Chains A and B, each alone.
Chain A
Amino acid sequence: MEADSGCRHGLVSLTVGGPAEQKELTQTPLLKIWVPWMGSSLNRRRGSSVPQFTNSPTMIVMVGLPARGKTYISKKLTRYLNWIGVPTRVFNVGQYRREAVQTYKNFEFFRADNEEAMAIRKACAAAALKDVAAYFTKEQGQVAVFDATNTTQERRAIIMRFGKERGYKVFFVESMCDDPDIIAENIQQVKLGSPDYVDRDTEEAMRDFIQRIKCYEATYVPIDDERDRKLSYIKIFNVGSRYLVNRVQDHIQSRIVYYLMNIHITPRSIYLSRHGESELNLLGRIGGDSGLSPRGQRYAKALAGFIEGQNISNLKVWTSHMKRTIQTAEALGVQYEQWKALNEIDAGVCEELTYEEIQENFPEEFALRDQDKYRYRYPKGESYEDMVHRLEPVIMELERQENVLVVCHQAVMRCLLAYFLDKPAGDLPYLRCPLHTVLKLTPVAYGCKVETFFLNIEAVNTHRERPTNVDISRKPEDALQTVPDHI
């Protein structure tokens, strides 16, 4: 009884065993996952390249007075979860309110005795919950972040009931802060520029907002550690100096807690750069472990000069384990750390080939890659999706750190950039990360400011756009349409 492997409909299949038990596994062409062959319909759920950890949808419910960082946390957490592949969306009740009440007059809207406004606010919350349900049932969402003050027991009970009825898990994130400086800073950074205050002067806006907070303070009942001991929640005190974590139910909640405990708001910058131009870059070959070309060496020196000019305090420098990033970092003359997780994407059988050679030897693979560059896994290699998982500890550590320079590779940099700039999986593999260019990321308000510095040393272009024809049967010219020039 021999094993027989053959190509069938472009799929690789493996048949083992005697005639009594013929069972086949086939390897899905894109993800390279082995799944049972069931005619032409492959069971997609089993064929996932990452373990599925979430079963019931989860609602993350923010709790806290205004200007406590709820929206900041909501957006950041959502960005992180989406990046690691958990479909997540924020539902900000304030936005529903702005839809319902087109012009905001003043804080009186938020007074506890303003019955008309109360009715509107309740309706907005209900509308948001309805959309949460639709997100879970119709759009395959897995996590919904319900971003509102949720400062009363009553409101939280409504949400709990909503979740229980539909089988959603509920996890509360309460942000408590009594440091007036932090609150004032928050208001400055994100409130004064909000649509509510677009035509006000700063001082007036500030006064109004403080009154707004007072309206909530009167009825604010924090989550009670005794009475609410059956709930799952995390309380964050004073931007992370203390946390109280209660009843973490599952994997995703555990990951969320870990993430929340590692982020901080201390101002800092993250510098992303690729290694200098390498010998293989010049030849248009992918992967490998070559050294820097002469121009690459010049870049390394220029990078050193640039970094010095930036006058960064306590800069950490990280590289991969590959020669070209290490040579680049060496020129900086400072200590650096090597992370294997920062290594370039493993192109498997295509390592060190040019795109022309890939087209010649593996035309089908080449086409599949263009069809879904994010999920496509090189034979015996990796996909962008695999890399995101590989890079997750790097992201976690970047969140903990302050000023960092990461010297890495094209695909790696795209993954990291997509995390910081909240780019979806479809865009990620086409983000522009040219050689000899430093990207400086500075967190600001709810996002990230990006500055691009081209250090004025010529290099080859390694960016390959998606060709128009991605069909397996396409002609070589069509396939090679977007390949950048090389020697």
Chain B
Amino acid sequence: MPRELTQNRIQKIWVSSKDDRSPTRRRGAGPHLANPPTVIVMVGLPARGKTYMSKKLTRYLNWIGIPTKVFNVGEYRREAVKNYSSYDFFKADNENAVKIRHQCALAALRDVKSYLTDEGGQMAVFDATNTTRERRDMILDFGSANSFKIFFIESVCDDPNVIASNIMEVKVSCPDYQDCNKTDAMLDFQKRIECYKASYQPLDPDLYDRELSFIKVIDVGRRFLVNRVRDHIQSKIMYYLMNIHVQPRAIYLCRHGESLDNLQGRLGGDSGLSPRGRKFATTLARFVEQQKPKNLKVWSSQLCRSIQTAEDLGVPYEQWKVLNEIDAGVCEELTYDEMKERFPEEFALRDEDKYYYRYPSGESYQDLVQRVEPVIMEMERQENVLVICHQAIMRCLLAYFLDKSAEEMPYLKCPLHTVLKLTPVAYGCKVESIFLNVEAVNTHRDRPEEVRKGPGTLIRRNSVTPLTSPESNIKKPRIEDLEEAPMQGLNHPPASSASLGLCSPSHLPLSLAGQQWLGKVCL
């Protein structure tokens, strides 16, 4: 007789009821494909995009459910040495400084160890120059002592324009230079780079480093050298790095226009647009025309309401089935009241854990992340894109771009008739929310007040459990704030309708002890 199976109430996953490991969480509803913890070690001279790649990669890995955290050694240094004076600190013969820098690296590695062994982390990104063999050998020893896999990502770039642009974008406004003017900062930073150049030993695939697993990113992704990629997650990381780019562009996310089902408060279905929805579609067309994005790609789901919205733009668009709204299974086309009436237990379970909750014969947000991942990958490849999708889908996509956790994702506000314009900037994403002035019903359901979580019934194996990149106590502006006035103390003049500017460096507290700092943009 086969073991009895029961279906876990929230995720609808069949498990053996005699499973003794049920108290400990087996995470995730997807296959468990990453095993020993891995330390991703960045390598490269300053201003080569190491921190950019670290943060972006971390955001991606967390979104697909692999707990990842960045450990930026520069932050540890800023803690240890409160006031940065000049590039002299980085001179190879500054013995005192060399000692401090070494201590900082060790402190960071200690935190890496703690994250990977005691805090449930799966990947740690060790963000520092790591330009000498000596330093890298130390890290390799650290890895074997703790049974961590080590994977290097080296960024090599000699294009002076790219470097100057990097310095302008993220270095001159960093805390080290808060009392300097831009020109002085630029000059000092360039001298800083020179300090590293003398002792820089790039990864050598032919001899010294031929047994190591690494990827060399050359000239901002024009060329890649990949050595001994050994496992699934390294392969995915490589694919991701090969698809991202740094060209300026904008991503527009919006929902279909108000649908007939929306008017009735019905979930899912495949109804057409209401008259107001039609009006939104034509207004959207005008908006897109005004914005004049170059070579705009338009993507829609395969549901009627999105397609009707896309049709009115009068430009070619692609239909993606994976952009279809979350499948509400047996609850398709019911109103929330009907669902509460016919499936009261399901209704309650959904509120208990909206991210993991799978509709009977339907999907969960967790399933959506897995489903929508190819869209994210393609969006990374593309430049200007407009995605016309649905509430749950938009929440998934938004959570990726704005680094929101699984907890937050199902409650992100994505109202009808509102376009979110995302522009990559520095280390993050600028968001502008543009309401196109066509009234629509509100389809957002907040997290109910009294929701008691059941005992540990969740299966949370490694995949598709988006976690935010762990960060310090810096408060991220919540999406609800988009309609309010921009935050105070900003350096930037407010842009068009209800735009949310960047958090300027002066607004953020300095890095906290041992904590990773999110950099300029805290979204």
Question: Chain A: residues with CB nearer than 8 A to chain B?
Answer: 1, 3, 5, 14, 16-18, 21, 23, 25, 27, 32-36, 46, 48-52, 225, 229, 241-248, 251, 254, 257-258, 261-262, 289, 291-292, 297, 300, 318, 321-323, 326-328, 330-331, 337-341, 351, 380, 386, 389, 397, 400
Contacts and interface: CB of A to CB of B under 8 A. Distances in A.
B302 A49 contact: yes
Contact of B302 (A33, A225, A337): A33
A241 B270 CA distance: 49
B32 interface: yes
A291 B6 CA distance: 11
A243 B239 CA distance: 13
Given A323-B5, A397-B33, A243 B225 contact: yes
Interface string B1-23: 11101010000111010000000
A400 B205 contact: no
B2 A337 contact: no
A289 B360 CA distance: 11
B457 interface: no
B243 A254 contact: yes
Nearest to A291: B5
Contacts of A318: 31
Shortest 5 CB-CB contacts between residues of A and residues of B:
A337-B31, A51-B318, A243-B226, A245-B224, A16-B272
**B: contact size bracket:** 35 or more
A3 B14 contact: no
B507 interface: no
A113 to B, nearest CB: 34
Given A34-B304, A242-B227, A323-B5, A21 B278 contact: yes
Nearest to A339: B31
20 contacts: A1-B275, A16-B278, A17-B273, A23-B311, A34-B307, A49-B321, A51-B320, A246-B223, A247-B222, A247-B223, A251-B378, A254-B243, A258-B242, A292-B2, A326-B14, A331-B2, A338-B29, A380-B270, A397-B33, A400-B232
Contacts of A50: 321
B275 A17 contact: yes
A400 B239 CA distance: 14
Contact of B308 (A16, A32, A291, A400): A16
A226 B522 CA distance: 41
Nearest to B222: A247
Nearest to A247: B222
A254 B278 contact: no
A340 B30 contact: yes
A121 to B, nearest CB: 32
Contact of A33 (B33, B242, B319): B319
A51 B273 CA distance: 23
Contacts of B278: 16-17, 21
A25 to B, nearest CB: 6
Nearest to A258: B239
Nearest to B378: A251
A341 B302 CA distance: 19
Contacts of A400: 232, 235
Nearest to B234: A261
Given A330-B5, A340-B367, 20 more contacts: A16-B308, A18-B275, A21-B278, A25-B272, A34-B302, A46-B319, A49-B321, A51-B319, A241-B227, A241-B228, A246-B222, A246-B223, A246-B224, A248-B242, A261-B238, A291-B5, A321-B13, A327-B2, A338-B13, A380-B332
Contacts of A5: 272
B232 A397 contact: yes
The secondary-structure label for the interface of chain A is: mixed
Nearest to B218: A246
Instruction: Give the secondary structure class of B's interface.
Output: mixed
Given A246-B223, A262-B235, A297 B319 contact: no
A397 B31 CA distance: 10
Nearest to A325: B14
A257 B31 contact: no
Contacts of B29: 321, 338, 340
A231 to B, nearest CB: 11
B271 interface: yes
B370 interface: yes
Contacts of B271: 3
Given A25-B307, A49-B321, A327 B242 contact: no
B389 to A, nearest CB: 14
Interface string B294-323: 000001001110011001000011111110
Given A25-B307, A257-B242, A300-B2, A321 B235 contact: no
A3 B261 CA distance: 11
B370 A340 contact: yes
Interface in B239-286: 239, 242-243, 260, 270-275, 278
A321 B8 CA distance: 12
Contacts of B31: 318, 337-339, 397
B438 to A, nearest CB: 14
B318 A251 contact: no
A27 B305 CA distance: 12
A245 B223 contact: yes
A33 B301 CA distance: 10
A32 B320 CA distance: 13
A77 to B, nearest CB: 16
Nearest to B320: A51
A322 B31 CA distance: 14
B478 interface: no
B229 interface: yes
A136 to B, nearest CB: 21
A483 to B, nearest CB: 25
B381 interface: yes
Contact of A386 (B223, B224, B317, B321): B321
Given A244-B224, A245-B226, A339-B30, A14 B272 contact: yes
Nearest to B373: A393
Contacts of B12: 321
Nearest to B216: A244
B287 to A, nearest CB: 18
A238 B158 CA distance: 29
Given A34-B304, A246-B222, A261-B226, A251 B3 contact: no
Given A48-B319, A300-B2, A339-B30, A14 B304 contact: yes
Contacts of B370: 340-341
Given A1-B275, A261-B238, A397-B232, A242 B225 contact: yes
Interface in B47-79: none
A229 B239 CA distance: 21
A3 B317 CA distance: 24
A265 to B, nearest CB: 16
Contacts of A340: 29-30, 367, 370
Contacts of B303: 34
Contact of A254 (B222, B242, B270, B275): B242
Contacts of A322: 14
Contacts of B2: 292, 297, 300, 327-328, 330-331
A238 to B, nearest CB: 10
A254 B381 contact: yes
A212 to B, nearest CB: 29
Contacts of A289: 361
Interface centre among A48, A318, A322, A338 (most CB of B within 10 A): A338
